[in-house]
Amino acid sequence: MAQQERYDWWAARPIRRKAVLGSPAVRLAPRRSAVRPAVESAVEASPAPGPAGTAPATDAAEVYRAVQASAPFQEIRRGYRGFVFPATAAFLLWYLLYLAAQAVAPGLMRSQVAGPVNVAWLLGLLQFASTFLLAWLYARHARDKRDRAALGLRWDTQDQLR
């Protein structure tokens, strides 16, 4: 029976998996990036693996702390915060302006725009449209600016924990 490979769409390469019914596991070459030297310098000689071939939990904690302190991780977080905080503030301001307009200027909000649609309905529907626009912008920003770098960090971290 031929071995079936699963495909990791984020990594654009086959996933390592355990052998099934005697078939060999898929072997992947480890990836290298800017995080590896920082992680290797933070984690000194690791103790012998545990009884089941797993590393002790303190090793994993040290690896995660080293990755968190690394420059690429901080850059990913800075990019995330640089988009999410202003976008959230703008959306909340837009929503509060809508509520304030309802409370302060009910006459303006009742004025007809086209047929039975008034300004309140129009602005309410624009709230939904802006929500979907913001979700699309967030997904595009994450895909273009952060996902590739985060994937590299994930692979480096997994390589360190093996």
7 lies in some domain = no
Mean pLDDT, rounded, of the chain: 76
Q: Is the pLDDT of residue 118 over 70?
A: yes
Q: Is the pLDDT of residue 91 over 90?
A: yes
Q: Total structural domains in the chain?
A: 1
Which position has the higher pLDDT, 9 or 142? 142
Q: Is the pLDDT of residue 57 over 80?
A: no
pLDDT, residue 61, reads 84
Which residues constitute the domain of residue 58? 31-162
26 lies in some domain = no
pLDDT, residue 53, reads 56
Which position has the higher pLDDT, 73 or 48? 73
Positive/negative CA dihedral, 46, 50, 52, 55? negative
Q: Is the pLDDT of residue 65 over 60?
A: yes
24 lies in some domain = no
137 lies in some domain = yes
98 lies in some domain = yes
14 lies in some domain = no
pLDDT in tens, 126-146: 999 999 999 999 999 999 888
> pTM for the full model?
0.58
* Residue from 161, 154, 155 nearest 30 by CA: 155
Measured between alpha carbons, how far is residue 13 from residues 9, 16, 25, 31, 90 in Å? 7, 9, 14, 12, 38
3-class state of residue 127 by DSSP: helix
Average pLDDT, stretch 51-80?
A: 79
Burial class (CB in 10 A: 0-12, 13-18, 19+), 156: buried
87 lies in some domain = yes
90 lies in some domain = yes
